[in-house]
């Protein structure tokens, strides 16, 4: 499908929210792909990290909210540490998760976690997991 | 030397062995880790939304508790270190944030505490030479892969006390203990962290990449400073053999455990029983 | 031959390249014959609004040069003229120049401009790239050097129908001369610099982009004129069809460049930079406007060029879209642009108010004639070729003939100026040798074999 680009779309409300929440300048990204090249979780993602930024640059936020990628970001900061433009992609991922969580509800439900894992996993796994996956 | 110490929730529970070995080793080296009299969970992950002030309250309380004990805080858990240090950076750089947070916690944190990772203290205050001098049972012949994970390295400008792309503090420590650290490319790769609670496949694969890389260099153990990395890398091996035929498990240890062993300390409470991959053969080989 | 070589140079083309070379040589004390086809000098640069990456006002930095050239005692300016024949060789070229009839006696014309005001005939101006008018009697711009008009015979009502002569009626100096004829001028020079410059690829050959069909599809030079304070809109960005301020503007790079199959295989080198500049200046003028740049690669290999492009993206919020546009057409008063974003794999469509194409650069029309006159080789696209591209970039295979500027291929202003000064230096080193006063020169063979040989053969 041909996507209609317009000033309205590229500056839409959600794009602005992502910029606000993350504090990042999306257009600073010049799509070099270094983030995707080094992302340790990219193999599990449906969109590369750099493509997430690209789609938001084009105003196509829905596609990003529908994607799995933000949920596979481990906030490891490899992307940010190496980004030549200083884009903190981990913050952009967090902003996208935040919007998705608010609009669509929690991604992680405690009841779904097997009892044995509840018993064995260290606290920080759960605490950080819930921080990232619930509103 | 005495220094205020924040163990964090995980070192208080599942990673108790890390904590025990660490305190005993520090004591043996003449450095006392003095646990904060009162502390709370730091939140485990640094909030990445700019306006998320609420989640900064918990780490600010930790900083407040530290302020009462002096101007330096030693943190053992790398995730806690990352959160508390970044929070501290923010509060130091942003007067508004500091004011807001002080209002939240109804107290006055002044921004004066220095947040340090325990490995950093070992290197800079105790000194690896002093450590080496104190070694009773050198780990001679033990090939180890030092694994740093993310939290003491990234973002570099905020948390790193080592070369962020080619860290070596842990390698240097292990060398001081008599072990032989291997050169390997995955020492700063992410293990998957909290992905483990939701995405098993992804975490399994991330762990496998790290562990198999270490093994290709002939490492007999992976040694880390992060309780979540230790857990992920260790536990994922339970069924790694099923995914990757012929996979041979490798023990994943805390550096403090090996430090305690090399210093010749009583290692009964080092938490060996908590490991998924049996560490006994390795310990026996060390004599 | 026992005559002394002539320490005088002919420069063909008075754009920034020809002007630079002329000034370098004239300021060293030698005479220059500067021939320009247009009625006034300045070339392409005179059409530009601002220069990258400094955003200097092009007029402001050019005007002191045009004025200096215009007044220089050592520069014989021959505008509205072409070179018709060249004979002879290094040290002694005999050149025939045809000065077209301007139908205005420039010796008495004061440049008051009344004739242009009174002339009833409006013509679409080439200088304004088709988006602005001039009269049948015209100068290229109010800052023209020389500031003397010419009558365009093709459009003049008097020449067409035998009636009008409005200009003549109003000219207070009595300068209009409908009987004027072309003049032939002979000049003798010792060296020649070719600085014929470039044109833009005819966009009619890219039917898919709608140029010529859709009034709001313009080329990059037309956009320069829109941005220019001295342009037809006095620097206001207005689209040609209805004069409205365009709110969504699409810039399409590589229109005809890097297209070995259908158009030109080479990169035109300057378009990435001027497009970034265009998008930036557009945003300076239309704050709530949205600019899109469709590109294949961004080539910004000059000092502070990359920083400039990144500024366009970050500070001016220009949306760069990686992909060549496939089709441009008109629909409901909009210019529809069909492109794709290869970075995301999305095909996109923009309903634009204005589309600006960055056409390939091609050799200046008529440079083939110059090449033939001088017996100079050109490449398959018509660009002049240096005798050796790496180490002798301004020398031709013909002794005493040098190249400057975009006659050689796509080149931006700083490179053009540097090359022009290089060509001037070559000429001056010949002149110095011919002066024969320098002890050292007399004793040594130098890498400048041409000059050495000339001494053997001629002196
Ligand atoms: S590394 Fe930085 S600039 Fe490059 S694509 Fe990723 S976010 Fe964009
Ligand atoms: S922070 Fe997220 S997106 Fe960035 S490298 Fe790590 S996992 Fe990938």
Better-predicted residue by pLDDT, C437 or A90: A90
Q: What confidence tier does C435 reach under pLDDT thresholds 50, 70, 90?
A: confident
pLDDT at C429 over 80: yes
Nearest CB partner across the interface for C292, out of A5, A50, A55: A5
Buried b (16+ CB within 10 A) or exposed e, B107-140: eebebebebbbbbbbbbeebebeebbebbeeebe
Query: What does the pLDDT look like over C370-385, one tens digit per residue?
Result: 999 999 999 999 999 9
Residue A113 in contact with partner chain B when CB distance is under 8 A: yes
Q: For residues C350 and B114, what is the distance between their CA atoms, to the nearest angstrom?
A: 53
CA distances from B91 to A77, B8, C47 (A): 21, 21, 54
User: Separation of B136 CA from ligand 1 center, angstroms?
Assistant: 49
Phi then psi for residue C156, to 5 deg, are: -70, 130
Alpha-carbon span C161 to B242, nearest angstrom: 96
For residue C146, whether the previous peptide bond is cis, meaning omega lies within 30 degrees of 0, is yes
Task: Please report which residue ranges of chain B form alpha helices under DSSP H.
Answer: 8-12, 16-28, 57-69, 78-93, 95-105, 118-121, 128-134, 156-159, 169-176, 200-216, 227-235, 240-243, 255-262, 280-286
Percent of chain C with pLDDT over 70: 95
> Does C154 score more than 60 pLDDT?
yes
pLDDT of residue C441: 67
A64 and A86 inside one domain: yes
How far C320 CA sits from the closest chain A CA (Å)?
9
Task: Based on the fold, state whether residues A27 and A77 are members of the same structural domain.
Answer: yes
What does the pLDDT read at residue C2?
47
* Pocket, ligand 1, Cβ cutoff 6 A: A 29-35, 50, 53, 79, 83-85, 87, 89
**Nearest alpha-carbon partner for B58 in B82, B39, B38:** B39
Task: Looking at the structure, tell me whether residues A31 and A70 fall in a common domain.
Answer: yes
pLDDT tens digits for B26-42?
999 999 999 999 999 99
Q: What is the pLDDT of residues C53-65, one digit of tens each?
A: 999 999 999 999 9
Tokens 């008097």 sit on residue: C158
Rounded to the nearest 10°, the torsion over CA B14, B16, B19, B20 is -160
Nearest atom in ligand 1 to the alpha carbon of residue A85 is 3
The protein residue with its alpha carbon nearest to ligand 2, atom 6, reads A76
Residue bearing tokens 């030549």: A84
Question: Which CATH number is associated with domain B136-285?
Answer: 3.40.50.11810
Q: Per-residue confidence at C452, pLDDT binned at 50, 70, 90?
A: very low
Domain count, chain A: 2
3-state secondary structure of A29: coil
Q: Which ligand is nearest to the CA of A33?
A: 1
Q: Say which DSSP state A4 is in.
A: E
Query: How far apart, in Å, do the first and last CA atoms of chain B sit?
Result: 31
- Please tell me the predicted confidence (pLDDT) of residue C41: 98
Q: Chains touching chain A at 3 or more Cβ pairs under 8 angstroms?
A: B, C
Q: How confident is the model at residue C1 (pLDDT cuts 50, 70, 90)?
A: very low
Fold of B2-118: Glutathione S-transferase Yfyf (Class Pi); Chain A, domain 2 (1.20.1050)
Select from C290, C313, C322 the Cβ nearest to the Cβ of A10: C290
User: What does the pLDDT read at residue C440?
Assistant: 72
ipTM: 0.95
Nearest to A129 among B55, B156, B198 (CB): B198
Shortest-distance atom of ligand 2 to CA A76:
6
| A to B CB pairs, distance under 8 Å | 138
Distance separating alpha carbons of residues C311 and C309, to the nearest angstrom: 5
Q: Looking at the domain assignment, is residue A2 inside a domain?
A: no
Pair A115, A52 in one domain: no
Place of tokens 């974003």: C341
For residue B122, which of B268, B13, B3 has the smallest C-alpha distance? Answer: B3
Q: Is A39 in the pocket of ligand 2 (CB under 6 A)?
A: yes
Q: Give me the phi and psi of C126, to 5 degrees please.
A: -70, -40
Band of pLDDT at residue C439, cut at 50, 70 and 90: confident
Beta-carbon separation of C314 and A10 below 8 A: no
State CA C109 to chain mean position distance: 26
State the pLDDT confidence band at C458, using cuts at 50, 70 and 90: very low
Across chain C, mean pLDDT equals: 95
Cβ atoms within 10 Å of C283's Cβ, excluding its own: 19
Among partner residues A11, A25, A54, which is closest to C314 by beta-carbon distance? A25
**With touching defined as 3+ CB pairs under 8 A, do chains C and B touch?**
no
Q: Is A44 in the pocket of ligand 2 (CB under 6 A)?
A: no
Q: How far from A135 is each of A88, A103, A130, B192, CA to CA, in Å?
A: 21, 10, 8, 21
A70 C-beta closer than 6 A to ligand 2: no
Q: What is the reported pTM?
A: 0.92
Report which protein residue has its CA nearest ligand 2's atom 5: A39
Asked whether residue A41 carries a pLDDT value surpassing 90, the answer given is yes
Which of these, C312, C309, C256, lies nearest to C281 by C-alpha position?
C312
Number of the ligand closest to the Cα of A39: 2
Considering only CA atoms, which of A128, A130, A70 is closest in space to residue A99? A70
Regarding the beta carbon of A108 and ligand 2, being less than 6 Å apart is answered no
Instruction: Enumerate the residues of chain B whose CB falls inside 8 A of the CB of residue A78.
Output: 150, 154, 189-190
Q: Which residues in chain A touch residue B77, judged by CB atoms under 8 angstroms apart?
A: 124
The domain spans of chain C are 8-100+183-197+364-458, 114-170, 202-360
CB-based contact (8 Å) between C71 and chain A?
no
Q: What is the DSSP letter of B55?
A: G
Nearest to A81 among B9, B47, B156 (CB): B156
Mean pLDDT across B280-285: 91
| Ligand 1 centroid, distance to C195 Cα (angstroms) | 43
Residue-level pLDDT at C459: 39
Contact C319 A58 (CB under 8 A): yes
Name the residue of A18, A48, A83 to mutate for ligand 1: max ligand atoms within 8 A of Cβ: A83
Alpha carbons A57 and C98: distance in angstroms, whole number: 57
C455 pLDDT above the threshold of 60: no
Residue B227 at interface with chain A, using a CB cutoff of 8 Å: yes
Please state whether B146 falls in left (phi above 0), alpha (psi between -120 and 50) or beta. beta
Containing domain of residue A25, as a range?
Answer: 7-104
What spacing in Å lies between the alpha carbon of B40 and ligand 2's midpoint?
28
pLDDT of C447: 56
Whether A3 and C310 lie within 8 Å, measured CB to CB? no
Q: Which residues contact B281 (CB under 8 A, 6 or more apart)?
A: none
| Residue B97 touches partner A, C-beta closer than 8 Å | no
- Does the fold of domain C202-360 match that of domain C8-100+183-197+364-458? yes
A111: Cβ contacts below 8 Å, ≥ 6 apart = none
User: What is the pLDDT confidence band of residue C436, given thresholds at 50, 70 and 90?
Assistant: confident
Q: Is residue A1 part of a domain?
A: no
Best residue of A5, A9, A85 to probe chain C, by most C CBs closer than 10 Å: A5
C-alpha B190 – ligand 1 centre gap (Å) = 18
d(CA A27, CA C356): 22
Nearest to B150 among A43, A76, A91 (CB): A76
Which ligand 2 atom minimizes the distance to the CA of A72?
A: 7
pLDDT digits (tens, 9 = 90+) for C195-242: 999 999 999 999 999 999 999 999 999 999 999 999 999 999 999 999
pLDDT of C393 reads 96
- Residues 345 to 364 of C: which have CB under 8 A from any A CB? 346-351
Residue nearest to atom 4 of ligand 1 (CA): A32
Chain A neighbors of B156, CB-CB under 8 A: 81
Say whether B155 and A127 touch across the interface (CB within 8 A): no
Structure tokens at C54: 């400094």
Written in H, E and C, the secondary structure of C416-455 is HHHHHHHHHHHHHHHHHHHHCCCHHHHHCCCCCHHHHHHH
Q: Cβ of A34 under 8 Å from any chain B Cβ?
A: no
- Give the pLDDT score at A65: 97
Whether pLDDT at B25 is above 80: yes
pLDDT exceeds cutoff 60 at C156: yes
Question: Do B and A touch, counting CB pairs below 8 Å (3 needed)?
Answer: yes
- Quote the ligand 1 centre to C300 CA distance (angstroms): 19
3-state secondary structure chain C: CCCCCCCEEEEECCCHHHHHHHHHHHCCCCEEEEECCCCCCCHHHHHCCEECCCCEEHHHHHHHHHHHHHHCCCEEEECCEEEEEEEEECCEEEEEEEECCCCECCCCCCCCCHHHHHCCCEEECCCCCCCCEEECEECCCCCCCCCCCEECCCCCHHHHHCCCCHHHHHCCCCCECCCCCCEEEEEEECEEEECCCEEECCHHHCHHHCECCECCEEEHHHHHHHHCCCCCCCCCCCCCCCCCCCCEEEEEEEECCCCCCCCCCCCCCCHHHHHHHHHHHHHHHCCCCEEEEEECCCCCCCCCHHHHHHHHHHCCCCEEEECCCCEEEEECCEEEEEEEECCCCEEEEEEECEEEEEECEEECCCHHHHHHHHCCCECCCCCECCCECCCECCECCCCCEEECHHHCCCCCHHHHHHHHHHHHHHHHHHHHHHHCCCHHHHHCCCCCHHHHHHHHHHC
**Closest by CA position to C84, among listed C400, C300, C366:** C366
Contacts of B176 (CB under 8 A, 6+ apart): B128, B129, B131, B132, B135
Residue A94 C-alpha to ligand 2 middle, in angstroms?
10
A64 & A120 share domain: no
Ligand nearest to the CA of A38: 2
Compute the nearest-CA separation of A127 from chain B (Å): 6
Place of tokens 């025939």: C96
C279/A contact by beta carbon, under 8 A? no
Across the interface, which of A4, A11, A55 has its CB nearest the CB of C349? A4
CB-side exposure of C162: number of CA atoms within 13 Å? Answer: 0
What is the interface size between A and C, counted as CB pairs within 8 Å?
Answer: 61
Look at residue C457 and tell me whether its pLDDT is greater than 90.
no
Instruction: Compute the distance between CA of residue C271 and CA of residue C300 in angstroms, rounded to an integer.
Output: 10
On chain B, the residues whose CB falls within 8 A of the CB of A70 are none
The CATH number for A83's domain is 1.10.1060.10
The tens digit of pLDDT for each residue in C308-335 reads: 999 999 999 999 999 999 999 999 999 9
Q: Which residues of A27-59 are buried (b: 16+ CB within 10 A; e: fewer)?
A: bebbbeebbbebbbbbebbebbbbbbbbbbbbb
B157-193 pLDDT tens trace = 999 999 999 999 999 999 999 999 999 999 999 999 9
Q: Is the peptide bond prior to C53 cis by the omega test (within 30 degrees of 0)?
A: yes
Sort out which chain C residues have CB atoms less than 8 A from A50's CB and list them.
Answer: 343
User: Which CATH architecture fits C202-360?
Assistant: 3-Layer(bba) Sandwich (3.50)
The answer to whether residues C123 and C134 touch, using CB atoms and an 8 Å cutoff, is: yes
Topology (CATH level 3) of domain C8-100+183-197+364-458: FAD/NAD(P)-binding domain (3.50.50)
Residues of C in contact with A4 (CB under 8 A): 348-351
pLDDT value, residue C449: 47
């Amino acid at each position: 499908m041909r996507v209609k680009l317009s000033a309205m779309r590229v500056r839409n409300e959600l794009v602005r929210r992502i910029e606000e929440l993350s504090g990042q300048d999306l257009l600073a990204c010049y799509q070099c792909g270094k983030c995707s090249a080094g992302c340790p979780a990219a193999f599990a993602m449906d969109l590369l990290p750099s493509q997430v930024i690209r789609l938001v640059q084009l105003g196509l936020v829905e596609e990003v909210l529908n994607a799995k990628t933000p949920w596979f970001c481990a906030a490891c900061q490899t992307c940010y540490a190496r980004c030549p433009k200083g884009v903190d992609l981990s913050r952009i991922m967090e902003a996208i998760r935040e919007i998705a969580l608010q609009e669509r509800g929690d991604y992680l439900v405690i009841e779904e976690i097997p009892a044995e894992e509840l018993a064995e996993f260290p606290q920080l796994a759960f605490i950080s997991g819930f921080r990232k996956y619930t509103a | 030397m005495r220094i205020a110490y924040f163990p964090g929730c995980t070192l208080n529970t599942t990673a108790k062995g890390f904590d025990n070995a660490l305190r005993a080793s520090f004591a043996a080296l003449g450095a006392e880790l003095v646990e904060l009299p009162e502390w709370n969970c730091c939140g485990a992950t640094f909030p990445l939304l700019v306006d998320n002030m609420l989640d900064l309250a918990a780490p600010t309380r930790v900083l407040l508790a530290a302020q009462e004990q002096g101007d330096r805080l030693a943190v053992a858990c790398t995730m806690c270190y990352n959160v508390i240090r970044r929070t501290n950076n923010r509060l130091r750089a942003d007067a508004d944030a500091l004011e807001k947070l002080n209002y939240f916690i109804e107290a006055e944190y002044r921004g004066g505490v220095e947040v340090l990772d325990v490995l950093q203290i070992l290197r800079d205050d105790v000194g690896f030479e002093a450590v080496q001098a104190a070694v009773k049972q050198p780990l001679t012949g033990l090939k180890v892969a030092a694994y740093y994970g993310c939290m003491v390295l990234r973002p570099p400008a905020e948390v790193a006390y080592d070369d962020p792309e080619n860290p070596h503090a842990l390698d240097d420590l292990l060398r001081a203990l008599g072990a032989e650290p291997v050169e390997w490319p995955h020492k700063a790769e992410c293990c998957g962290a909290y992905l483990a609670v939701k995405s098993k496949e992804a975490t399994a694969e991330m762990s496998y990449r790290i562990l198999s890389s270490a093994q290709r260099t002939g490492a007999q153990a992976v040694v880390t400073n992060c309780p979540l990395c230790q857990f992920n890398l260790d536990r994922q091996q339970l069924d790694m053999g099923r995914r990757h035929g012929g996979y041979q498990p490798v023990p994943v240890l805390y550096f403090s455990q090996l430090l305690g062993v090399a210093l010749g300390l009583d290692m009964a409470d080092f938490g060996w029983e908590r490991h998924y991959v049996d560490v006994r053969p390795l310990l026996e080989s060390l004599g | 031959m026992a005559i002394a070589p002539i320490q005088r140079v002919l420069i063909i083309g008075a754009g920034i390249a020809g002007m630079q070379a002329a000034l370098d040589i004239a300021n060293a004390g030698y005479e220059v014959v500067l021939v320009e086809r247009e009625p006034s000098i300045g070339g392409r640069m005179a059409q530009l609004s601002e220069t990258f990456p400094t955003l200097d006002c092009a007029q402001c930095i050019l005007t002191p040069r045009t004025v200096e050239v215009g007044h220089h005692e050592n520069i014989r300016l021959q505008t509205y003229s072409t070179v018709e024949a060249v004979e002879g060789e290094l040290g002694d070229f005999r050149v025939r120049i045809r000065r077209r009839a301007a139908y205005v006696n420039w010796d008495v014309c004061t440049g008051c401009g009344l004739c242009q005001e009174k002339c009833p005939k409006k013509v679409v101006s080439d200088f304004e790239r088709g988006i602005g008018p001039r009269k049948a009697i015209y100068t290229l711009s109010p800052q023209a050097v020389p500031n003397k008009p010419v009558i365009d015979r093709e459009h003049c009502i008097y020449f067409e129908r035998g009636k009008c002569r409005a200009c003549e009626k109003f000219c207070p100096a009595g300068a209009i001369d409908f009987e004027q004829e072309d003049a032939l001028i002979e000049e003798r020079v010792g060296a020649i610099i070719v600085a014929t410059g470039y044109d833009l690829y005819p966009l009619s050959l890219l039917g898919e982009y709608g140029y010529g069909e859709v009034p709001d599809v313009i080329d990059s030079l037309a956009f320069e004129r829109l941005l220019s304070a001295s342009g037809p809109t006095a620097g206001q960005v207005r689209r040609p069809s209805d004069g409205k301020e365009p709110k969504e503007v699409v810039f399409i790079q590589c229109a005809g460049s890097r297209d070995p199959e259908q158009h030109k295989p080479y990169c035109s080198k300057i378009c990435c930079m001027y497009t970034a500049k265009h998008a930036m200046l557009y945003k300076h003028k239309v704050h709530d406007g949205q600019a899109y740049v469709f590109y294949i690669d961004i080539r910004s290999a000059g000092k502070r060029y990359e920083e400039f492009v990144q500024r366009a993206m970050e500070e001016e919020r220009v949306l760069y879209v990686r992909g060549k546009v496939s089709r441009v057409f008109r629909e409901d008063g909009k210019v529809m642009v069909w492109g794709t974003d290869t970075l995301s794999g999305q095909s996109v469509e923009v309903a634009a108010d204005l589309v600006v194409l960055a056409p390939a650069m091609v050799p200046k029309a008529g440079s083939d004639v110059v090449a033939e006159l001088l017996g100079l080789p050109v490449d398959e696209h018509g660009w002049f070729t240096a005798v050796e591209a790496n180490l002798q970039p301004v020398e031709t295979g013909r002794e005493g003939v040098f190249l400057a500027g975009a006659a050689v291929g796509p080149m931006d202003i700083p490179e053009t100026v540097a090359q022009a000064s290089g060509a001037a230096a070559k000429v001056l080193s010949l002149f110095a040798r011919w002066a024969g006063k320098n002890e050292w020169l007399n004793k040594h063979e130098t890498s400048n074999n041409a000059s050495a040989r000339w001494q053997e053969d001629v002196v």
